[in-house]
Amino acid sequence: MRILMIAPPGAGKGTQGALIAAHFNIPHIATGELLRDHVARQTALGQAVQAYLDRGELVPDQIVLDMTREAIIAAKAAGGGYVLDGIPRNMEQARAAYEIGSELGMTADVALHLQADDAELTRRLLARAALEHRSDDTAEVIAQRLALYHEVTAPIIAWYRDRGILVSVDAMRSAPEVGREILADLEAMRPSLDHPPAQERLPLDMISLGEAFGATGSSR
Ligand code: AMP
């Protein structure tokens, strides 16, 4: 099972990603967690990305793509499944993640979209701020992260819908309820993923992806 998650901040991708990973016994590759770990350890990379995280901006694409490639190579060696959490975040990353997946024979089977409205997301993130003290869970930075999600991440969803791998889940409910639905949906898909009929796997149209987002795209 190879899954990527597209979700606004606060929709629960960390929680649900961990649940999916445990259920299918696959690695949970969370770019935000990997970056925060570098910041906590004050590695050279951590020092380079800290200001982006603090401001709620995207770190440069190449940094997260290099991390993702390394993690997908490890996932391949570990059995071939993965759940990607936090990438892709923009059109360039969607395209590059597909290229990495193709090269390694590890493209995603499912794009899992968690849907929730901004008021609920803001409420959850402010509640989390009181518990976890993440540098990017302040009201101002939350607003910036949500705006960025709508501007550069959400448009990617249509591309996965066109490809026929999109699964959308209502994430306005409690985490256990959302988790139960995700696992039920993924379990229902499992037999067809194990033996995918070729005609059901639509080829990816890289050109239309480029056109949909403009020639150069944005790495913000
Ligand atoms: P997350 O834990 O997924 O909410 O990510 C936290 C922060 O890490 C984001 O606000 C970005 O600054 C950075 N980040 C995580 N994933 C990516 C990505 N794919 N591209 C760029 N920045 C990212």
What are the pLDDT digits (tens) for 181-190? 999 999 998 8
d(CA 68, CA 209): 21
Cα distances (Å, whole numbers) of residue 20 to 32, 162, 180: 17, 24, 10
Distance in Å, CA 209 to ligand 1 centroid: 22
Tokens representing 180 are: 């139960």
Distance in Å, CA 116 to ligand 1 centroid: 18
pTM for the full predicted model:
0.88
The pLDDT tens digits for 153-211 are 999 999 999 999 999 999 999 999 999 999 999 999 888 876 655 545 555 555 555 55
The pLDDT tens digits for 122-150 are 999 999 888 888 888 899 999 999 999 99
Question: Tokens 């409420």 — which residue?
Answer: 123
d(CA 64, CA 100): 12
Regarding the beta carbon of 46 and ligand 1, being less than 6 Å apart is answered: no
Question: To 10 degrees, what angle do helices 139-148 and 118-132 make?
Answer: 130
Task: Report pLDDT for 209.
Answer: 55
Tokens representing 126 are: 């402010």
Tokens representing 61 are: 């694409």
Regarding the beta carbon of 86 and ligand 1, being less than 6 Å apart is answered: yes
Q: Whose CA is nearest to atom 19 of ligand 1?
A: 87
One-letter amino acid for residue 28 of the chain: H
Among residues 18, 169, 40, 26, the alpha carbon closest in space to that of 86 is found at 18
CA atoms within 13 A on the CB side of 143: 2
| DSSP 8-state code for residue 149 | I
Name the residue of 28, 85, 89 whose CB sits within 8 Å of the most ligand 1 atoms, as the mutation to test its pocket.
Answer: 89
Distance in Å, CA 103 to ligand 1 centroid: 24
